[in-house]
Amino acid sequence: VDPTLRIGISGTGRIAEVLARCAPFAPEVRIVAVSSRDRARAQAFATRHDIAHAVEGDAALAARDDIDLVYVASLNPFHHRDVLRFLAAGKHVLCEKPFAMNAREADDMIAAARAHDRFLMDALWSRFLPSWQRARALVDQGAIGPVRMISAELGFATGEGPEGRLLDRAQGGGSLIDSGVYPHALVSWFLGAPDVIQALGTVGPTGVDEQTLCTLGYSSGAHAQIRSSLRAALASAAFLAGPDGVIELAPRLHRSTRVVVRRLGRDDLVEDLPYESAGLQLQLTHVARCIAEGRRESPVMPLAETRSIVHTMDRIRAQLGVRYAADEMAADAVAAPYDAK
């Protein structure tokens, strides 16, 4: 039996291109088919990446029996619909970030994965990079003592206009859910779900946050500060501080290739941790191993944590006054005012 995980890609946008370029670096997987709303676009994508089958529409992709997993690379507001479709068709699913527009959607998606007994993961690929894994190992080894404070940011000045996916509310735009999701996923990995959230942001004319600052508080006494921006070229590093020192994930956070450990009275420890291609293949290898082991979720990016990150972003958006169409169906899913206590 060929153990290779057979993948179908749903969508032919920018990130689908990157994933298709990275996939040959993961010998555990093979891209078998790609779907687009436009048949010619699917065919051109398949030709560029040497993919055997190009199909028009997700129904045709879902119906194929030569695919084990679908990589959902559609726009943010479509993740929920697309993930439910492919799970119902019996496929495992890897879903682009942000996983869902709100916690209600995330709950539906997770429940569907359980109901259909399929694997589902949030494609938070940075968590599988050698730099992020090294930071995790250093903290676990006690290199800086318990993490008490984190500063993490990711941001850039977009050249897109109001109709581009980053600023358009209908396409699920906004700095928090686009870029902020990476520092939030980092902070969640080390500190879990926050008890208190205080957020400040600029909501622009399109109704999404153009930049956001969040202070998170934890019952343990730890704190985190997270910044995201579509208007400023942020340094985009992260610093994890404990009593014995600080670990830096060097810029840019989501694709970091360097970890620096600074401890009082000791030389800085600088580790360069490069990876091949754009790095998205590392999550593919992980997903293939999980599925080969019969897992239905990842121990590195578990579904309960994905849900918690989405819920944290819901609570922040409630403070900023940013709402998406998905929220209108679930007023009760957006958090209560006690957050600012």
Ligand X SMILES: NC(=O)c1ccc[n+]([C@@H]2O[C@H](COP(=O)([O-])OP(=O)(O)OC[C@H]3O[C@@H](n4cnc5c(N)ncnc54)[C@H](OP(=O)(O)O)[C@@H]3O)[C@@H](O)[C@H]2O)c1
- Taking the C-alpha atoms of residue 14 and residue 8, their distance in angstroms, rounded to an integer, is 16
Of residues 37, 48, 114, 289, which one binds ligand X by CB under 6 A? 37
- Residue 196 backbone zone (phi > 0: left; psi -120 to 50: alpha; other: beta): beta
Q: Does 21 bind ligand X (CB under 6 A)?
A: no
Of residues 20, 26, 33, 36, which one binds ligand X by CB under 6 A? 36
- Which of the residues 168 through 197 are near ligand X (CB under 6 A)? 178
- Taking the C-alpha atoms of residue 165 and residue 314, their distance in angstroms, rounded to an integer, is 19
Q: Nearest distance from residue 254's CB to ligand X, in Å?
A: 7
Of residues 6, 39, 41, 323, which one binds ligand X by CB under 6 A? 41
In DSSP notation, 213-254 reads EEEEE-TTS-EEEEEEESSS-----EEEEETTEEEEEPSSGG
- Taking the C-alpha atoms of residue 201 and residue 320, their distance in angstroms, rounded to an integer, is 6
Q: Nearest distance from residue 12's CB to ligand X, in Å?
A: 4
Of 54, 82, 78, nearest to 70 (Cα)?
Answer: 82
- Which of the residues 207 through 266 are near ligand X (CB under 6 A)? none
Question: Strand, helix or coil at 180?
Answer: helix
At 250, which amino acid appears?
Answer: A
Question: Strand, helix or coil at 269?
Answer: strand
Rounded to a whole number of angstroms, the CA Rg of the chain reads: 20
- Candidates 7-15, 135-143, 266-274, 297-305; binding stretch for ligand X (CB under 6 A): 7-15
Site pattern 88..107 for ligand X (x: CB under 6 A): --------xx----------
Q: Does 165 bind ligand X (CB under 6 A)?
A: yes
- Candidates 9-17, 23-31, 220-228, 324-332; binding stretch for ligand X (CB under 6 A): 9-17
Q: Are 72 and 81 in contact (CB under 8 A)?
A: no
At 293, which amino acid appears?
Answer: E
Query: Is the Cβ of residue 148 or residue 165 nearer to ligand X in the bound state?
Result: 165
Query: Is the Cβ of residue 24 or residue 217 nearer to ligand X in the bound state?
Result: 24
Q: Does 206 bind ligand X (CB under 6 A)?
A: no
Query: Is the Cβ of residue 177 or residue 246 nearer to ligand X in the bound state?
Result: 177
Q: Does 119 bind ligand X (CB under 6 A)?
A: no
- Which of the residues 47 through 76 are near ligand X (CB under 6 A)? 73-76
Angle between helix 14-22 and helix 281-292 axes, rounded to 10 deg: 70
Of residues 125, 132, 190, 324, which one binds ligand X by CB under 6 A? 125
Of residues 5, 8, 12, 187, which one binds ligand X by CB under 6 A? 12
Query: Is the Cβ of residue 68 or residue 96 nearer to ligand X in the bound state?
Result: 96
Q: CA triplet 268, 239, 127: central angle to 5 degrees?
A: 105
Of residues 5, 7, 8, 15, which one binds ligand X by CB under 6 A? 15
The two beta strands, 29-36 and 5-10, are: parallel
- Candidates 12-20, 85-93, 134-142, 209-217; binding stretch for ligand X (CB under 6 A): 12-20
E strand intervals along the chain: 5-10, 29-36, 53-56, 69-72, 92-95, 120-122, 149-155, 196-203, 209-217, 223-229, 238-242, 245-249, 258-262, 269-272
- Candidates 35-43, 60-68, 136-144, 204-212; binding stretch for ligand X (CB under 6 A): 35-43
Q: Does 122 bind ligand X (CB under 6 A)?
A: no
Query: Is the Cβ of residue 261 or residue 282 nearer to ligand X in the bound state?
Result: 282
- Taking the C-alpha atoms of residue 298 and residue 289, their distance in angstroms, rounded to an integer, is 10
Residues at the contact surface with ligand X, assessed by CB under 6 A: 11-16, 36-37, 41, 73-76, 78, 96-97, 123, 125, 165, 178
